[in-house]
Every structure is written in structure tokens, then in C-alpha cells.
Structure 1
Amino acid sequence: MFSGRPHRVSHPSHPSNKRIFMASIHWINERILRSHWNQAVLDLVQHLGPQNVFVGVLESGSWDNSKGALQELDAQLAQLNVAHSIILEDTTHEDEISRVPSPGEAGWIWTPREKKELRRIPYLANLRNKVMQETFKDTDQHFDKVLWLNDVMFTTEDVVTLLSANAGEYAAACSLDFSKPPRYYDTFALRDISGARALTQTWPYFLSHTFRHALISNKPVPIQSCWNGMVAINAEPFYASTPLRFRGIPDQLAELHLEASECCLVHADNPLSTAKGVFLTPNARVGYDAEAYSAVNSFISWSAPSQRIKGIWKL
């Protein structure tokens, strides 16, 4: 099993009675599914306990063999008696953007090209909600956390570190994701506690001294929103009488050239965000390939002093 993480003095633990809904959407991800992701999910399931998890995956019209890779995962989860749903759709994103929308259909706007075009964010929000529908199929199943996984390299230790952030007390907790280290990847969703975007994609990211101190100490960093490759969300709001859902901003605002990530809006809509907080977990770092993962997990303390001085000088 791949691991680019140094040994920790204390290994995080996860309560055996907590139930986790694992969710993911995939498109043209065969390579990482076969090389890493499928096995990482199986390792995680076995650690958490097959009876404690549900795996919900949606694949949407890939033109590689992502379907074949996920069919293999389907069979392996069945062998472990893991409750799961793997949805394989033939409709591609190209099919969706090429079709003619019905009159008044939400998620479509007139663009400067003088065409009515599909908005990406509501499209993704609908896919995420379709995966989340599996949560409510069986009223006897009650989950404590919803764990969303991108097409990233991760280990069981990364996930348990994330789930254990702030002693498990949070509205949501996110990892840090990297494609080309030292630059972090998810600039769209990450906002600090004041709602500000990061100043840089490298150290120190945000101007806040509190943010930097928590990052150096590998302590959970209070923020306003994030996704960053891997996010754990308290499941309670998804069971409310008006359940939490993913969404985009109204089409009328989008036509004014405004946009917001469904990964930001879910935190803004979550009633627990104010009460329990949203946290960035600096000791849970994921990568979009093996090189990126190894680079950001080759150390325990966050950022060498020389990098800190150089990064602050840039500001």
C-alpha cells in the first residue's frame, strides 16, 4: 500500500461506534482509481469496520474505463459485505451541455455568446445531491459523518486524522490538497475565518497570524469554508426537516457574472457552521498524484523556517 507519510508518535484513533457515509463523484479517473483510490477506500473501510460505513459513488459519462475500475470496486465491496451504491451513468457532460433545456429550467443562463448554456456549479451540486440521496434510502441507517473524497491519493491515517479533528467536534473539517507543491490546489472553496480568499497559494496562505500559528502547530485552523480534496461534514443537518443540500447561487446572479462554489455554499447553509465551526486540518494532506502526495507528507511539522521567512517576505 502506498504511503508517503512519516511515522507519527501517536496514531489517531476513531470511535468504533461512529458511522460514516463515504461519498465521491468521478469523471475520467481510471488511472488513479486503479493505481490507488480503490484500494485506499477498501483499506479505510476495513479500518472503520464494514458495518460502520456506506460507500456512495457516482461516475458520470467518462470516456476512459472509469466504469470498469468502479465495477471492480463494486465487487470488492460486496465481498466485504459493505453497504454501497455505485452509480454508472452513460450521460456525459457534453451530452448535458448540448441538449436544449426545457423552458424555465434552472441551472441555465444566457451568456455573452448569445447562447443559453449550462452552469457548471448547479450541475455539480445536482450530482452531489444524487449521491447523498443514498443517505435517506433506509431510515434505520443513521450516519454521524459524511466524508467526501476527491480523486486524490490518501491513506487511512489521513482520513482518521481528518475525522478526529478538534476531537470530532465540528460542522466540517477539511484536508489540504496539492497538485503542484508547494502550491495548494483548491483556491475556489477555501476562505479564512473572515471570509477572505488566500493571499498566496504557498506559505503563509493567509495574512492572519492565528492561521499561521495553528498551521505551524498542526492544529485545526478555524475557517469559513473549504473542501480541499477531502472533507468530513457532521451528518445531522442532512437529516433536518429541511435537509442540507448542495446548490449554486440563483441564475439571476450568475447572469451578472457572479459565481460561488457549491463547496462553499454548503458551509454557508449549514446551521452547525456557526455553532461548531469549520476547520482546516493541516496534518491531513492529500495529493493528486504520488509525487505531490510524497512531497507534502515528507515532514510532520508544517513548513521549514526558511520557507516561512521567504513566504512572509513576499507579502
Structure 2
Amino acid sequence: MNDIFFCRNDILELIYQSDIQGSDITCPLDFYTTIKANRKFKFKFRDTWVSRDLNGREFNPNMNKLVSHTESKHRFLKNLPFQVQCCWNGVAVLNPNAFYGNTSIRFRRSKKEKSECSASECSLLCNDFWQKGFRKIVVVPKIRVSYMLKDAILSNKRYSDEGLFDTDVDEKIRYIHGPKKYFCKGLEAKNEIHPNNPGVWYEYSTNGTEVL
């Protein structure tokens, strides 16, 4: 968990969704707000460096264009959990089995000696999950967390206005295979918080991307 503002029931919902979806990584959406000319606020997605959809593409900060993958977009617009290639988004429920055994996963930096793209440690965690066969990664869009109190306060109205899941679509995800590559933006410079390298399409698993 990052230094976020959250509601306790949201964390319980993440754990619940992790259980019913059988997912290995389960995330909310993290956001910030901007004020438009008419003084109305607008939610924008924050963790674009890490999150990748099932086309391997970055999430869009514009919540109306969040993902490029068609089925994911359909589920997102209905406020339903959807499958992704990677996420963190402020907090994640992780399958603990990935951290045990002789080939356990750890948070790490990129392997420069192997010319690995210098992605976020959270992106590399996703890639390692894929490599080790933990490939069910899910975003729960009705759960939203923020890094600033003003944004958390504004989100209260969204929670009161927004309904529950659309009942004409199954809440349970039907998992499909992941993309062969994902779009990676590297960060090499010191004391920087934004990627400073051009994006590249990077093959993140040598064991294929099938989801079983």
C-alpha cells in the first residue's frame, strides 16, 4: 500500500474481489482531480507509468478513455472488474504464494546487465508474476483511492452518485491470454519521478502469456 487516502470498506472489497475472481494481483483505480473552467472538478487516472491493459498499452488519464482493450472498456463502463496486464494503483492485494519457494518473487529494480527496460518496481513485479505463472491481474474500478485529502473529499460525492454493478453482465471475469509485449517507459536518471526514456515494446515473459 502506498501513502493513500482510502475507505476501509474499499480494502475489504479488494480482498473480496481477489477471492471471488481468483486473481493474483487485485487493484483499485487511483486518481487525482482537476478543476475545469466552469469550476467543476474532473477525475483523472494517476498511475499511468505502471498500469497496462490487455493490449499492453498504458492507461489513459482520461477516465472516459481509460483502456484500449474492447472488452475491458465495456466492463469498465459498467463499473465491473476487468482483467489487465499490470496494475498497482496505490494498493494491491497480492497472491502470497508468489513470494514463497526457491524462486520467490521480490520487489526489485531492472536487470541492466540483461538490458531489461527500467520500468517501475511495480511493473517489474507484474512481469515477474507473469513469468512465474501468476497471471490473473484485475482492476476493480468502483474502488478509487487518492493521494491528497482534497481529492478524497471530492470522491465522496462520486460514491453517493454511483450505483452498484450493472446486473446484465457477470461480475466474474472470464480470463483470456495476455499480450505478447507491453509498452515500457524506463526511468534511468537519479532524483526523478517520471520516466525519462522513450517508450519501447518489451517482451515480459519467456514462458508465454497464456492464462490458465
TM-score normalised by L of structure 1: 0.44
User: Are 2:25 and 1:172 aligned?
Assistant: yes
Backbone CA RMSD of aligned residues: 2.2
**SS in structure 2 of the partner of residue 203 of structure 1:** helix
* Bigger relative CO (Cα 8 Å, ≥ 6 apart): 2
- Tell me by how many angstroms 1:232 deviates: 0.5
* CA displacement at 1:249 relative to structure 2: 1.5
Partner of 1:154: 6
Deviation readout 1:223-258 (Å, 9 max, x if unpaired): 01011011110101111221111122122467x9x4
Task: Provide the secondary structure at the position in 2 that maps to 1:242.
Answer: coil
Task: Name the SS of the counterpart of 2:92 in structure 1.
Answer: strand
Kept in 2, the 8 Å contact 1:161–1:283? The answer is no
Which AA in structure 1 matches 2:51? L
Q: For 1:269, which of 104, 115, 128 is the aligned residue?
A: 128
Runs of 4+ in 1 over 6 A off after TM superposition: none
Answer whether contact 2:27 2:91 (CA < 8 A) is retained. Answer: yes
- Structure 2 SS opposite 1:282: strand
* 1:296 counterpart residue number: 155
Give the CA deviation at 1:199. Answer: 4.0
Q: Establish whether residue 219 from structure 1 lines up as the match of residue 87 from structure 2.
A: no
Gaps of 5+ in 2: 34-41, 165-212
- Could you tell me which of 189, 199, 222 is aligned with 2:50? 189
- Which residue number in structure 2 is paired with residue 139 of structure 1? none
Q: What are the equivalent positions in structure 2 for 1:58-77 lying under 5 Å apart?
A: none
Shift of 1:179: 2.4
SS of residue in 2 equivalent to 1:192: coil
Equivalent position of 1:286 in the other structure? 145
1:150–1:230 contact (8 Å) kept in structure 2: yes
Structure 1 residues 272 and 284, CA gap change in structure 2 (3 angstroms): farther
Judged with a 3 Å threshold, the aligned counterparts in structure 2 of structure 1 residues 211 and 228 are, in CA distance, closer, same or farther, namely: same
Q: What is the match of residue 92 of structure 1?
A: none
- Give the Å deviation of 1:273: 3.0
Distance in 1, matches of 2:150 and 2:71, equals 30
Alignment of 1:92-241 (within 5 A): 149-165=1-17, 167=20, 169-180=22-33, 181-241=42-102
Cα distance, 1:194–1:273 mapped onto 2, change above 3 Å: farther
Alignment of 1:12-91 (within 5 A): none
Task: Sort the Cα spacing of 1:230 and 1:294 in 2 relative to 1 into closer, same or farther, 3 A.
Answer: same
Cα deviations by residue, 1:38-88 (Å, 9 ceiling, x for unpaired) = xxxxxxxxxxxxxxxxxxxxxxxxxxxxxxxxxxxxxxxxxxxxxxxxxxx
Count of residues paired in the alignment? 150
CA distance in 2, matches of 1:272, 1:217: 29
Q: Deviations over 1:4-43 (max 9, x none)?
A: xxxxxxxxxxxxxxxxxxxxxxxxxxxxxxxxxxxxxxxx
Q: Give the distance between the partners of 2:15 and 2:57, measured in 1 at CA.
A: 25
> How far apart are the structure 2 equivalents of 1:278 and 1:291?
29
Q: CA deviation digits over 1:152-183, x for unaligned, max 9? A: 11111110111111515111001111122511
How far apart in 2 are the matches of 1:296 and 1:212? 22
Q: Could you say what secondary structure the match of 1:164 adopts?
A: helix
